Chain A
Amino acid sequence: MKICVLVKEVPDAAVTKRIDPSTGRMDRSGEKNLNPYDTHAIEAAMQLKEGGEVQVDEIVAVSMGPVSAVRALHKAVSLGADRSVHLSDPALAGSDVAATGYALASAIKKESPDLVLLGQQSDDGECYTIGAVVAEHLGMPSLTQVVKMDVEGEGVKCERQAEYGYDTVQVTFPAVISVGDAINEPRYPSLKAIMGAKKKPLETLAAADAGIDASMVGADGSQVQCGEFKAPPQKAAGQIIEDEDTNDTVEKIVAWLDERKLI
C-alpha cells in the first residue's frame, strides 16, 4: 500500500504569533518548524510499515506552502518518509481551509494513495478540519482524533474518543485518518537520516501541475473572507509566582487560597 502523510510548516512554538495588519494574514516570518502534531502521523505510517500487518511500499510526505516548507518535508523524510511532494505556487497564498484542502487533495490525487494520514491539528491555525475537507474531495471516508489503528484485511479498525466515550470504527481503504497525539511517541531522527534527507526525491508542483482550478484557491478563490481583527475581552492577568524557594512558594499559595476561603 501507499501512504501519503500531510505535513505543514508552522511557526516555532517559541515564536509569538501575530496577524500582519497590512495583509490580514498570519505573519509567518520568524523561526519555523515541522508541525509537532504531524510527527505522530509520520510515526503512525512508520509503525504500519514496520508492523508487518500490511505491506507498505511507500510513504510520501505532502506539503503545501512557500519555498521554506521544503525544510518541513526534509524533516518528514528524516523521520521515515521515502520521498516528498511540495505543492507551492503564489496563486495558493491566502487560501482558506476549504481551498487549502481542495488544493492538497488535488496533489494527493496524483499519488492515488490507499491511506492518507495527518496530525490532529496544526500548531498555528488551530483548525482540526483539513482532513475532512481533503477526504471529501478525494471521495474517501474520514476519521479524526484516532488514537489506535489496527490493520485488518482491506481496512483499518480505528479507536477514537468522541462525545460519549470511545468509539471503534471500521474503515475500508482508501481513507483519510487524522491521528491524535496519544497514538504514539514519535522517534527522533538519526543523524544519518537527517544528513540523507536532502538526497531523497522531492517533487515540486505548481498549482497547474496538480490540476488545480485557480479560481478555487488563493485569497480570491476562498469562500471565507476574514478580517476586522479585534481584541477579545481580556481577563485581568493573574498573579504569577516563580518557584525559587518551594517552602516560600507553598506558603504564598496557601495564603492566597486561605484569603479566598478555598481551603
Chain B
Amino acid sequence: MADILVYALHYEGAFNKNSLGAITEATKLAGETGGKAHAVVVGEGISDELAATLGDYGATKVFKAEGPEGLAQPVIDTMASVMTENGIDYALFGGGLLGFEVGAGLAARLQAGVTMEVTGVLVEDGKLVAERPILGDSAISQSRYKTKGIIIGRLNAFEAKASGGSAEVVNVTVEPSAQAAQASIVSRGEQRGADVDIEGAGTLVAGGRGLGNAEGFDLLQDLAKAFGGSTAVAATRAVVDAGWYPYAGQIGQTGKTVAPKLYLAAGISGAIQHKVGMQSSENIVAINKDANAPIFEFSDLGIVGDLNKIVPKLTEAIAAKRGS
C-alpha cells in the first residue's frame, strides 16, 4: 500500500492544470497499491470549499496550510511534516518551476530519492517506478526508490480528469524552517510586454535566440502576416527573458502549451523545456543553422540554413502563393 502526496499549486482562486493532472495520476497509482492520494495546498486565505474541489480529481484528503504563495520553502516545510506524520512515502509533482524547487528540497529534507522530467509512473510490487527520458529524449531510464520517492513530472505528462467528489480538508499548522523566513514574495505573476494570443492560432511562427536580436521578430511578424488567417508569433523563454518578445507569447515549461496545425520554428534549438510546450503540433517545420540542433529530431520538415536569408524569401513566396 502506497499513499501519495501531491502538491497543488494555487494562483488567484484556481489550481494549476498540471497539479490537477498529478492528482489524477496519483489517485490511479495509489489505487493500484491499495493506497490513497492526498493533496497539499499552501496559500493565503484559500477557502476550505476551494481546497475540497481537489477531491474532484481524486484527492482523499487536502492538507491546507497558511503561508505565502510562490515560494518553495513553506511548501517543503508543510509537505515534509505531512509525509512524516502520516507515513506517506511518495510525493508527486505535476512539473513546473516550483515543482522542481519543492521536490528537490523535499528529497533532501526527507533523505528520499528524486527523479525529475518524469513522463510515466508504474506500480511494481506495491512500489512506484518512475520513467524519465534522458540524453535528449533518446533513451528512457527507470528509477526505483530504496525508501521514499519524490517524482517530478514533465509538463503535460499527466492529464487531469474530473470524476466528481469532494475531499476532506485538514487544516495544518507547521513550524516554519529558519530559511523559510529568509525569502518573501514582493510581487507575483507580473505580465511583461503586450498581450499576445497564441493559444487560438492555427499557425504559429515561433522565434528563438537564433534570431539574433529583438528586430529578428520583425521578420517573423512579416511571415505571419503572409500566412494570414489565424497566424500568431510566439517565442522561447530565452528571448522573452531577454526582453525581445512579450511573456504572453511564450511557449514551454513556464509558458503556454500549444498544438497548432502548423508550427514554424525559426532559430530555436529545441531544448526540452520548449519541446514540452509544442510537441503536439500537427506539423512542425524548423529553420536552424545548426544541423545538430535537437529540434530537427522532432520536426517534420527541417531546413538547415540561415533564417535571415530564408525567412524573407519564404514570406514573399507565401504572399505570392496566397495572392494567386
* Residue on A nearest B203 in the bound complex, by CB: A262
Residues in A whose Cβ lies below 8 Å from that of B147: 223
Establish whether residues B139 and A232, one from each chain, have CB atoms under 8 Å apart when the complex forms: yes
Which residues of A231-248 have CB atoms within 8 Å of chain B's CB atoms? Answer: 231-232, 235, 237-243, 246-247
Residues in B whose Cβ lies below 8 Å from that of A247: 313
Residues in B whose Cβ lies below 8 Å from that of A127: 116
User: How many Å lie between the Cα of A237 and that of B296 in the bound state?
Assistant: 8
**With A157-B186, A226-B141, A232-B139 known to touch, is A129 a contact of B192 (CB < 8 Å)?**
no
A262 interface neighbour in B102, B254, B261, B305, Cβ under 8 Å: B261
Establish whether residues B247 and A227, one from each chain, have CB atoms under 8 Å apart when the complex forms: no
Residue B25 at the chain A interface, CB threshold 8 Å: no
Establish whether residues A142 and B185, one from each chain, have CB atoms under 8 Å apart when the complex forms: no
Residue A180 at the chain B interface, CB threshold 8 Å: yes
Interface of B is mostly: mixed
| Smallest CB-CB A-B distances: 3 pairs | A243-B305, A182-B241, A223-B113
Residues in A whose Cβ lies below 8 Å from that of B284: 238
Residue A186 at the chain B interface, CB threshold 8 Å: no
* Residue on A nearest B130 in the bound complex, by CB: A224
Known: A17-B135, A167-B190, A170-B185. 4 other contacts (CB 8 A): A139-B179, A181-B238, A238-B299, A262-B283
* B-to-A contact residues, CB < 8 Å: 9, 11-12, 16, 70-73, 76, 96-98, 100-105, 107-109, 111-117, 133-149, 152, 177-192, 203, 227, 237-238, 240-242, 247, 254, 261-262, 272, 283-285, 291-292, 296-306, 309-310, 313-314, 317-318, 321-322
- What is the distance, in angstroms, from B117's C-beta to the closest C-beta of chain A? 7
User: How many Å lie between the Cα of A203 and that of B72 in the bound state?
Assistant: 33
Establish whether residues B185 and A167, one from each chain, have CB atoms under 8 Å apart when the complex forms: yes
Establish whether residues B321 and A135, one from each chain, have CB atoms under 8 Å apart when the complex forms: no
A163 interface neighbour in B98, B179, B187, B242, Cβ under 8 Å: B98
Which residues of A10-61 have CB atoms within 8 Å of chain B's CB atoms? Answer: 14, 17-19, 26
User: How many Å lie between the Cα of A236 and that of B185 in the bound state?
Assistant: 45
CB 8 Å contact bits of A110-132 with B (1 = contact, 0 = none): 00000000000000001111111
- What is the distance, in angstroms, from B108's C-beta to the closest C-beta of chain A? 4
Establish whether residues B108 and A102, one from each chain, have CB atoms under 8 Å apart when the complex forms: yes
Among A63-71, A84-92, A249-257, the one that faces the other chain is A249-257
Establish whether residues A162 and B98, one from each chain, have CB atoms under 8 Å apart when the complex forms: yes
| Of B104, B291, B321, most A-chain CB atoms within 10 Å | B104
* Residue on B nearest A243 in the bound complex, by CB: B305
Residues in A whose Cβ lies below 8 Å from that of B137: 232
User: How many Å lie between the Cα of A19 and that of B117 in the bound state?
Assistant: 18
* Residue on A nearest B243 in the bound complex, by CB: A182
B247 interface neighbour in A14, A131, A165, A257, Cβ under 8 Å: A165
User: How many Å lie between the Cα of A245 and that of B180 in the bound state?
Assistant: 59
Residue A136 at the chain B interface, CB threshold 8 Å: yes
Establish whether residues A225 and B321, one from each chain, have CB atoms under 8 Å apart when the complex forms: no
Residues in A whose Cβ lies below 8 Å from that of B111: 98, 216, 223
Interface residues on A, range: 35 or more
Interface of A is mostly: mixed
* Residue on B nearest A254 in the bound complex, by CB: B317
* Residue on A nearest B9 in the bound complex, by CB: A163
Establish whether residues B192 and A165, one from each chain, have CB atoms under 8 Å apart when the complex forms: yes
- What is the distance, in angstroms, from A71's C-beta to the closest C-beta of chain B? 23
Establish whether residues A246 and B309, one from each chain, have CB atoms under 8 Å apart when the complex forms: yes
Establish whether residues A129 and B104, one from each chain, have CB atoms under 8 Å apart when the complex forms: yes
User: Can you report 16 A-B residue pairs in the complex whose CB atoms are below 8 A from each other?
Assistant: A17-B136, A129-B116, A132-B103, A160-B97, A163-B9, A165-B247, A166-B190, A182-B237, A224-B115, A224-B149, A239-B302, A242-B304, A243-B305, A253-B317, A254-B317, A256-B301
User: How many Å lie between the Cα of A18 and that of B184 in the bound state?
Assistant: 42
Establish whether residues A161 and B247, one from each chain, have CB atoms under 8 Å apart when the complex forms: yes
Establish whether residues A239 and B314, one from each chain, have CB atoms under 8 Å apart when the complex forms: no
* Residue on A nearest B227 in the bound complex, by CB: A263
* Residue on B nearest A176 in the bound complex, by CB: B179
Establish whether residues A242 and B140, one from each chain, have CB atoms under 8 Å apart when the complex forms: no
Residue A106 at the chain B interface, CB threshold 8 Å: no
Establish whether residues A136 and B113, one from each chain, have CB atoms under 8 Å apart when the complex forms: no
**With A136-B108, A141-B73, A262-B262 known to touch, is A250 a contact of B314 (CB < 8 Å)?**
yes
* Residue on A nearest B68 in the bound complex, by CB: A169
Which residues of A179-196 have CB atoms within 8 Å of chain B's CB atoms? Answer: 180-182
B314 interface neighbour in A126, A137, A253, A258, Cβ under 8 Å: A253
Establish whether residues A263 and B321, one from each chain, have CB atoms under 8 Å apart when the complex forms: yes
Establish whether residues A238 and B190, one from each chain, have CB atoms under 8 Å apart when the complex forms: no
| Of B9, B105, B133, most A-chain CB atoms within 10 Å | B105
Residues in B whose Cβ lies below 8 Å from that of A227: 141-142, 144
User: How many Å lie between the Cα of A96 and that of B16 in the bound state?
Assistant: 29
**With A139-B178, A142-B101 known to touch, is A128 a contact of B186 (CB < 8 Å)?**
no
Establish whether residues B254 and A224, one from each chain, have CB atoms under 8 Å apart when the complex forms: no
Residues in A whose Cβ lies below 8 Å from that of B192: 165-166
